[in-house]
Structure 1
């Protein structure tokens, strides 16, 4: 069965299938004989606030909505495969499913990071609009389909911060020679501004900063950052997170495993991913606000803005990088063109609505 056929099955089954399964009220012991168990590998430490919690909650939702007919066992980063090998694990059949982020796959597919976030790009709501209504999902399916993988949005950490810096950043000169933990296209932006990007999984960030392997670290947003504990090593916390204005987490599902499911279970996987995306984004907004209060009020963190010359240079460099990604191959070109069209389409509305509203609200 082709990936497109599988996707049509999922869409046709829809939420009605989920409601039907829930209505049966079957307890898992009643159907244990026919139960299916999947493995889910993740890029996160177990229960890392934000993405780690999303992975666990997604697995639980699939088991609950299926009445125990499909259960998912979660493996944190390193338990079954290393954090940055989740894609290969699903493509190669080691696991049926993964919870991770597309920004880790730039080495395999230059355009992949765009499906999590791109510098100076789409906000979480704009990204959702592009994936669902602007052709983004079809392009994402095409990009991963050749590897036997179906991608779903399955969590979102919201807007990110620019990161933690050992020393204050007063201008572009302070980035020269700076070793910064960062992944995705933002890493190349920092490289071209004179820094040295270091790609590390989340579970290794604290020790790398503590030992001096890196001088700065971009991770996620206040809720996850507080849990990792970088505030114990420095008090300089910079924004805005121009490199990652959206934080879409992805569920990677083996097309072979998905196509082997009955229609209602395939629909449940899709619906659970959708529900987790909405739940996680709302939770991120609430918890990031609470965590920021704690970082500043309890731990004495200083929230600072990146200097204007850094942002101006970063914006120009980011556009150059996206053009280079587009030139890699035809599919990358179509992805970048679609993403840019979505950014242009949403910009006028953002400028007319959100941009003037926030200053008016703050006074």
Structure 2
């Protein structure tokens, strides 16, 4: 090719490239959404997932798609976040699906169920085991489309005013415990209370409740539970890997351009990974500080755990017998969990168990 011809072709290619980029940007419509969180700003790890998503969406669209974040209570109370999405008050919310088991117990599977999946297994089920598709089939009834939006990892078993050594010690205990697990605890004599995160401390301080579970050390330290209830139990068998979701109004989701759907899905996945990473990074230091300040760390006894597992299976059977949606999702989740633990017991458990023992023996 002659030099003059080459320059003409190169010039034309450069011009085309210069036009293409702004043309794509111009094709992106201006979209303004609001996301209401079920959590207060003070709990920056869990509340922060909405901020991570909002920032990622804005940056990926050069500010064309803006999602404004609101804390619990700024638009609606935290436990009414899903209703605000269903009725179109807001385009989306960030919440724990199991807050809404009063509408239908099937909502529990979007967050966690007693003796269910751990955090990694939750993500595997949602993204590659058909879990999120099953849930979205159910959520359609409530005008909701859901994207996974965070995980706390395995939670703690909560703060108690008195020691809980046997199943009998649970009798009559008024406990803040969210979602489906409250029904299980009720079988063991506990009086479950559904209380939003920001309202737990005053209820515990005033003696309105005797015990409370929230998430784990990083959040519990901020909320100050150790100041009013000294005994800190583990594990939170009802939340082996508690997941959060972004609930989107179905009509608003379907109206988005394909590129915005892709960007929003990717941003939610980023928030999903980021939240758990933050909890895993922050919990060790917080636990050390809590114990250093006098928190009495206690494991639930084998007797209590076995009684809770038995009660859980009873509740699953009773609920499945009268709720086809619940039965369908429960059976799918259970089959996935059993296969996952077939694998986890081989490599993951053996590796972790060895290193935990080595650490305890000061060999690391």
Distance 2:224 2:55 in 1: 27
- Name the counterpart of 1:148: 143
* 8 Å contact from structure 1 (residues 84, 201) kept in 2: yes
Shift in Å, 1:307: 1.6
Q: Which of 42, 45, 49 lines up with 1:50 in the alignment? A: 45
Aligned mates of 1:347, 1:130 — CA distance in 2:
13
| Further displaced range: 55-64 or 172-181 | 55-64
Per the alignment, residue 268 of structure 2 pairs with 273
Deviates more, 1:155-164 or 1:352-361: 352-361
Maintained 8 Å contact 2:176/2:192: yes
Question: Structure 1 length as normaliser, TM-score?
Answer: 0.89
TM-aligned CA deviation for residue 25 of structure 1? 9.1
Select which of 64, 68, 75 maps to 1:69. Answer: 64
1:322 match: 316
Partner SS state of residue 139, structure 1: helix
Any conservation in 1 of the 2:174–2:192 contact (CA below 8 Å)?
Answer: yes
Structure 2 counterpart SS, 1:77: coil
Which of 216, 225, 228 in structure 2 is aligned with 1:221?
A: 216
Q: Distance in 2 between matches of 1:141 and 1:130?
A: 13
Partner of 1:232: 227
What is the RMSD of the two structures over their aligned residues, measured on CA atoms?
1.9
Residue 341 (structure 2) pairs with residue 347 (structure 1)? yes
> What is the alpha-carbon distance in structure 1 between the residues aligned to residue 35 and residue 102 of structure 2?
22
Select 2:350's aligned residue among 340, 349, 356: 356
CA deviations 1:187-231 (Å, max 9, x no partner) are: 111111001000000010001100111100010111111111111
Instruction: Kindly name which structure, 1 or 2, has the bigger radius of gyration based on alpha carbons.
Output: 2
Structure 1: tracts of 5 or more residues without a match: 1-22
Sort the Cα spacing of 1:97 and 1:312 in 2 relative to 1 into closer, same or farther, 3 A. same
- Deviations for 1:152-177, whole angstroms, at most 9, x for unmatched residues? 10111111000000111111111111
Give the Cα separation in 1 of the matches to 2:39 and 2:47. Answer: 5
3-state secondary structure, aligned to 1:50: helix
In structure 2, distance between residues paired with 1:190 and 1:177:
11
Contact 2:52 2:270 (8 Å CA) reproduced: no
- CA distance, structure 2, for counterparts of residue 123 and residue 145 of structure 1: 26
CA–CA separation in structure 2 for the residues paired with 1:212 and 1:25: 61
Aligned to 2:10: none
Distance 1:24 1:176, change over 3 A: farther
Give, in angstroms, the shift of residue 260 of structure 1.
1.4
Structure 2 distance, partners of 1:301, 1:49, is: 23
| Offset of residue 126 of structure 1 | 0.7
Structure-2 residue corresponding to 1:332:
326
TM alignment of 1:143-222, pairs within 5 A? 143-222=138-217
How many angstroms apart in 2 are the aligned matches of 1:261 and 1:148?
A: 15
Deviation at 1:358, TM superposition (A): 2.7
Q: Once the two structures are superposed, what CA deviation does each residue of 1:299-326 show, in whole Å capped at 9, x if it has no partner?
A: 1212110122111100111111122232
**Cα distance between partner residues in 1 of 2:45 and 2:235:** 19
Contact 2:34 2:69 in 1 (8 A): yes
